[in-house]
Amino acid sequence: MARSELDIETVKSVESYASEFPHELQTLDVYHITRAPSALWIIFLHGGAWRDPRVTSSVGKNLLAQVLNTSLPTPANAAAINYRLSPHPSFPELTQNTAKHPDHANDVLAGLDYLRVKYGMRQYVLIGHSAGATLAFQMLSLLQKRRTTGLALPKAIFGIEGIYDIASLVKEYPGYREFIEGAFGEEKDWPDALSLGGYTGLAVLAHSDEDQLLSWRQTEEMKGRCEDTLGVGGGLRVVKLAGQHDEVLETDRLVGMVERYLKDLK
C-alpha cells in the first residue's frame, strides 16, 4: 500500500546536526519511515547559488514525498539537508550568512554523518539540484579523504541542473562571477572541475532544454569527465528533463527518472 503525502507529513522532523554551537541553518528535514538496517536513504541537497535564503531544504519536499510513495524494492527513508549560506547582497540583514567554501560542503558531510550515527544510515543516494549538485559530487572527494567518518560512498548521485566546473561557468556567464566569488573567494581559490575520482557507483546527470539559467555545457563537460572514470556506457546516465531551472523539481518526469534508477540499484 503506497504511503500518502499526509503520512509523510506526520513523520517529518527538523533536527540540528551540528554537535557544538549550531548555526540556525545547520538543520535537516527527516522523513523517517523505517529503522530497517537495509533501508535506503534518499538525501536531497538544495541549490540557490550557495547564498539564497529563499531556497532551502523545503524545495525538495514534493520530490521526496512522491519518490517515497513509489513502489521501491527496498524500505526507504528521506532527508533534505540545509547548510550555511554565503552573503547575499539583497539580504544584508542576514549577517549570520557568512559561509565560504568549503563550509557548505563540510556542513553537508556533517549532516550525512548525523544520519549515520542517529539513524544507522548505511546506504544512501544523493540528489542535488543546481549548487546542490555541486555539493553532491563534492562528497566523493571529501568521503574518500575522511574514511574515519564511517560513511560509505553513496550508491548513486543524481545531479539535476548542476554546476560542475566553476571556472567554466564564469567563462560562459561572466555575470555569475559575483555569487561565485561570494561563495568561493578569489579565482585562485576556486576548486577544480568536479570529477568522480575512484567512484564506481551510479552517476546520473539530468538537465532541461528549458533551463533559463544554465545551458547544457556544464552537464556535457561533466559527462566527459565521468566517462573517463566509468567508461562510455558504464555507470553513467544522461537524461533530458523538462521545465525551467527551478520548475524541474516539481515535474513528474523527474520523479519518474529517480524512481526508475532507484529500482535498478543493486
C-alpha 172/C-alpha 91 separation (Å) is 26
52, 113, 165, 211: the active-site residue: 211
Helix count (H) and strand count (E) of the chain?
8, 8
DSSP H/E element including 257: helix 252-264
Residue tagged active-site, from 86, 130, 141, 208: 130
* Active site (annotated) includes residue 195: no
Task: Give the contacts of 53 (CB within 8 A, at least 6 positions apart).
Answer: 85, 88, 91, 94, 97
The burial class, CB within 10 Å (0-12 / 13-18 / 19+), for 124 is buried
CA–chain centroid gap for 256, Å, is 18
SS3 190: coil
The answer to whether residue 130 is catalytic is: yes
Catalytic residue among 46, 101, 104, 245: 245
Alpha helix stretches (DSSP H) within 58-215: 61-68, 103-119, 131-145, 166-172, 177-184
Give the pairing of strands 123-129 and 76-81.
Answer: unpaired
* Cis, peptide link before residue 102, omega less than 30° from 0: yes
- 13 classed as catalytic: no
Cell 566569488 sits at which residue?
Answer: 181
Residues annotated as part of the active site: 130, 211, 245
